[in-house]
Structure 1
Amino acid sequence: MATPAHCAYAFEVLAANFERRQPLSLAQVEELWERYHASGADDDEDQAQKRRDDEEHDEEESGSGADTPASSRSSLFSFSSSTSKPQQQQQQRKREEGRRRREEYPLFVTWNTVSRGGSKSLRGCIGTFEAQELEDGLRAYALTSAFEDARFPPIPPSLLPSLAAHVTLLTNFSSPTRDPMDWVLGKHGLRISFTVHGRRYGATYLPDVAKEQGWTKEEALISLMRKAGWNGSSSAWVKTWREGKGELVRYEGKQVGLRYTEWRPWREWVEKLGVKSKPLN
């Protein structure tokens, strides 16, 4: 399953691209992310962020009135922490993290913009159904979804503070089925394909999409067929599916998200530790 540290790595990759520097590795991000939260620094920032959010909320209401929805030594770094773990347990955790990073996953990276009121809008979502080593896949698709989603212009540096990163690791793929209703709303992602006039169409929705949109299963399927490029009548989707020999593959994956306002305090804490990134040549 994806973790907030994976989202933090997506932010690290995107920010490094804007700043013309090498990003920290996924191993560095995961270790520093855990240290940051173990140190209690995030609790202080949570309180500060709550105060900032309250102030922004008060400003919005008075403005437009719009209703919007131990001490230890790291294997990578050397610094003190208020918490400690037995060395054996720490080594076991590091081996487990290394194993996970070497595993391969199909994955998607999604970027959303988030308004001050908390509403979000899609700004890029691209992934792959071909299994990728985790670090390589996250790095590649953090940038691809930010800059190459044809539905949106490339994300500029000025938009970074309003972004939220979401990562979904895909698992439990089913065999293809001709039954378009053989899936569970809110649990399964869908990958469909069908043929119309000799042309093959295909598209996918991640597991969270239909539930977020409030769609029924039928509405989700019609929308997905339209995403694939079909422009027929809504009442004709069943006939089109049947005649076009439609196939559906269901899969699972829990989306995990992280906002810039959660990532940036961690990144500033990292900089205070003296952890440096190399500039690009």
Structure 2
Amino acid sequence: MYSSTPLTMATVEHCLFCFEALSANLEKRTPMTLSQVQSSWNSYPNGLEEEEALSSAQDGDVEAVARLAPRNPALQRLAESRNSAISSGSSTPASNSSGSSSNTFANESAITTPGTSTDSFSPVGLNPRKTRQRGNEITESPLFVTWNTISPLTPSSHRSLRGCIGTFSTLPLSTGLSSYSLTSALQDHRFPPITLRELPTLEVSVTLLTDFEPCNDAMDWELGIHGLRITFYAKGRNYGACYLPDVAVEQGWDKEETIVSLMRKAGWGGRREKWRDVADLECERFQGKAESVGYEDYKEWKEWAEK
């Protein structure tokens, strides 16, 4: 059984802080600090009610959802969905994620040259889980920040990757989230920099990484549990790439397909059936749960905070 670290989870506050950092940069103003965002969120009625209702929904407490719903349209829809399920005699499980991730791949890290290994990587976009965990206790962690463009007119609000970069180095969240929210938005070489007018179309996802462990071999990890970082040597070059824990499952890959895709991402051009023949293939597994927030949620909170 693989362990996890409960407190090392991204929170809504972390996502709001990333939006705040990017918005302030584009608007040429001073952003709120992470501690200010956390303090404000603790007093934000809709945010706290939503967390309570979502928790209640997961626990099957329909009455709690209905009690809070009138003050929050999203919760009202959730309550209506629950009531419809009850009246029809069916059970509708709560869904914590929607949409699909982009199929775009990068050959290597968005801030490094191909064929090199570094602490910073840009994995393919992820479809974040809504963990809604509160974790103000944690102050530093390896992290990734992902920006997605939401297409509301497509089924399930389709997500398209807009930028994703992170680090495996442990950084203070107060500086790491701010730095990588801008790096992933403005310096992912697969995309042009995000502009101010794009903000309303965006969703940000934060993943805090934990439980780093060397793999005994390329298959010593679990789909849906582990992210993966690989390094290897081929034709006189060193290669490296990574995927976050959600990627393989979302793409429908098995373990071997994931490894080959990672090697392709790193820039390896060998024949698929020869992937085991590369030299010094090393794999490291890690875990991490993502949290995400859309621009409308950020805007509503920000307007409340400014009052």
1:100–1:254 distance in 2 versus 1, CA, 3 Å: same
| TM-score, normalization by structure 2 | 0.68
Counterparts in 2 of 1:111-122, with a 5 A limit?
111-116=147-152, 117=154, 118-122=157-161
CA displacement, residues 79-112 of structure 1 (integer Å, 9 cap, x when unaligned): xxxxxxxxxxxxxxxxx94x523xx211110101
Q: Is the 8 A contact 2:232 2:280 kept in 1?
A: yes
1:36–1:153 distance in 2 versus 1, CA, 3 Å: same
Counterparts in 2 of 1:92-241, with a 5 A limit?
97=136, 100-101=138-139, 104-116=140-152, 117=154, 118-175=157-214, 177=215, 179-240=217-278
1:47 aligns with 2:73: yes
> 1:246 maps to which residue?
281
Pair member with larger Rg: 1
> 2:66 maps to which residue?
none
CA displacement, residues 169-221 of structure 1 (integer Å, 9 cap, x when unaligned): 1111003x351100000110100000001210000001111111111111111
Distance of 1:100 and 1:149 partners within structure 2: 27
> 1:62 maps to which residue?
none
For 1:231, what is the secondary structure of its paired residue?
Answer: coil
Distance of 2:257 and 2:47 partners within structure 1: 47
Deviation at 1:4, TM superposition (A): 1.1
Q: Which amino acid aligns with 2:24?
A: A
Identity of aligned residues (%): 50
> 1:271 maps to which residue?
306
> 1:58 maps to which residue?
none
1:21 aligns with 2:21: no
RMSD: 2.2
Distance of 2:282 and 2:38 partners within structure 1: 38
Q: Is the 8 A contact 2:70 2:76 kept in 1?
A: no
Deviation at 1:34, TM superposition (A): 2.2
Question: What runs of 5+ residues in structure 1 fail to find an aligned partner?
Answer: 52-67, 70-95, 273-281
Q: Is the 8 A contact 1:109 1:165 kept in 2?
A: yes
Distance of 1:45 and 1:268 partners within structure 2: 17
Distance of 1:119 and 1:48 partners within structure 2: 18
Q: Is the 8 A contact 1:45 1:265 kept in 2?
A: no
Q: Which amino acid aligns with 2:145?
A: V
Equivalent position to 2:13, from 5, 19, 23: 5
Distance of 2:288 and 2:194 partners within structure 1: 25
> 1:255 maps to which residue?
290
For 1:152, what is the secondary structure of its paired residue?
Answer: coil
Distance of 1:265 and 1:256 partners within structure 2: 18
Q: Is the 8 A contact 1:108 1:127 kept in 2?
A: yes
Q: Which amino acid aligns with 1:141?
A: Y
Q: Which amino acid aligns with 1:265?
A: E
Equivalent position to 2:39, from 25, 31, 51: 31
1:14–1:268 distance in 2 versus 1, CA, 3 Å: same
Distance of 2:75 and 2:204 partners within structure 1: 18
Counterparts in 2 of 1:76-95, with a 5 A limit?
none
Deviation at 1:38, TM superposition (A): 6.0
Q: Is the 8 A contact 2:46 2:72 kept in 1?
A: no
| TM-score, normalization by structure 1 | 0.74
Question: What runs of 5+ residues in structure 2 fail to find an aligned partner?
Answer: 1-8, 51-68, 78-98, 101-134
1:31–1:123 distance in 2 versus 1, CA, 3 Å: same
1:222–1:15 distance in 2 versus 1, CA, 3 Å: same
Q: Is the 8 A contact 1:178 1:246 kept in 2?
A: no
Q: Which amino acid aligns with 1:263?
A: Y
Distance of 2:181 and 2:27 partners within structure 1: 15
1:48–1:258 distance in 2 versus 1, CA, 3 Å: closer
> 2:64 maps to which residue?
none
Distance of 1:45 and 1:141 partners within structure 2: 34
Deviation at 1:163, TM superposition (A): 0.6
Aligned length: 223
**Which aligned runs of 4 or more in structure 1 are off by greater than 2 angstroms?**
37-46, 48-51
Q: Which amino acid aligns with 1:122?
A: L
> 1:85 maps to which residue?
none
Deviation at 1:131, TM superposition (A): 0.6
